[in-house]
């Protein structure tokens, strides 16, 4: 016996399924667009690198103080190998380079010039694997993020690569204290340095 059609279907048609897939894809694309607008993924990655860099700098600064307390003299080797020498062993491992920011990494300087009074400290060049310093680029943004983390009244909207000031001015004015990022004019290009003074 065949039952007559009563108007009720079981399931959905191919056309309805196609419309549902298209709508789901469209909503996903809109959500992705708003997610990328809301969260600046590139800026977040840069901030994470700067946070790692700051952590390394504070570890080195602490290691310097411990070395002076233990040995009675300041460390003298620029590559900081004295910090993890077997007779001292302040740091188990020296900080690794952050390749997205530098090709050199941290250096210990017994007299940082042109910083006031030639104080010792650590420097970290933001050289971005040899990119140019003549135009606004990632090195400017890294410097701005670093200084913003030290003083959140500093604007993150970098308009040119000369707005960080030189080291002597920043140190003399105590704008950020003993830690800051500054610009240095070398030839026709600007190079950025992160400095931790001791």
Question: For 161-167, which contacts have Cβ atoms below 8 Å and span 24 or more sequence positions?
Answer: 161/133, 161/135, 161/136, 161/137, 161/190, 161/192, 162/190, 164/192, 166/114, 167/112, 167/114, 167/115, 167/193, 167/195
Say whether pLDDT at 99 is over 50. Answer: yes
Say whether pLDDT at 26 is over 50. Answer: yes
Say whether pLDDT at 29 is over 80. Answer: yes
Cβ 194 vs Cβ 57: under 8 Å: yes
Positive or negative, the CA dihedral 121, 127, 130, 136 is negative
The mean pLDDT value of the chain amounts to: 75
pLDDT of residue 19: 92
pLDDT of residue 117: 62
61-70, 83-92, 122-131, 163-172 — most confident range: 61-70
End-to-end CA separation in angstroms for the chain: 96
pLDDT of residue 22: 94
Tens-digit pLDDT profile for residues 142-195? 888 888 788 777 666 665 444 566 666 666 666 667 788 877 766 666 677 788
Cβ 116 vs Cβ 168: under 8 Å: yes
Residue-by-residue DSSP string for 36-81: HHHS-HHHHHHHHHHHHHHHHHHHHHHHHHHHHHHHSS----TT-G
Q: Which of 71, 82, 54 is nearest to 148 (CA)?
A: 54
Residue carrying structure tokens 């701005």 = 144
Q: What percent of the chain has pLDDT over 70?
A: 67
pLDDT of residue 149: 82
d(CA 89, CA 179): 25
Tens-digit pLDDT profile for residues 34-76? 776 666 677 788 888 889 999 988 888 888 888 888 888 888 7
DSSP state of 95: P
- Model confidence band, residue 133 (pLDDT cutoffs 50, 70, 90): very low
Entry pTM? 0.68
Cβ 165 vs Cβ 182: under 8 Å: yes
- Model confidence band, residue 130 (pLDDT cutoffs 50, 70, 90): very low
Average pLDDT over residues 128-140: 57
């Amino acid at each position: 016996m065949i039952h007559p059609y009563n108007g009720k279907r079981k399931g959905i048609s191919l056309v309805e399924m196609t419309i549902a897939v298209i709508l789901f894809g469209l909503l996903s694309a809109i959500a992705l667009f708003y997610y990328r607008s809301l969260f600046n993924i590139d800026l977040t990655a840069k901030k994470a690198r700067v946070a790692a860099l700051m952590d390394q700098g504070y570890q080195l600064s602490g290691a310097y103080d411990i070395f002076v307390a233990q040995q009675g003299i300041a460390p003298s080797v620029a590559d900081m190998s004295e910090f993890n020498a077997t007779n001292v062993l302040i740091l188990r491992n020296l900080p690794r380079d952050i390749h997205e920011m530098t090709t050199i990494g941290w250096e210990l300087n017994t007299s940082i010039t042109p910083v006031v009074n030639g104080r010792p400290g650590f420097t970290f060049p933001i050289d971005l694997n040899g990119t140019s310093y003549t135009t606004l680029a990632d090195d400017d943004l890294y410097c701005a993020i670093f200084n913003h983390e030290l003083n959140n009244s500093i604007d993150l909207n970098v308009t040119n690569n000369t707005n960080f000031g030189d080291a002597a001015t920043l140190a003399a004015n105590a704008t950020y204290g003993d830690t800051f990022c500054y610009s240095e004019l070398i030839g026709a290009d600007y190079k950025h340095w992160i400095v931790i003074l001791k």
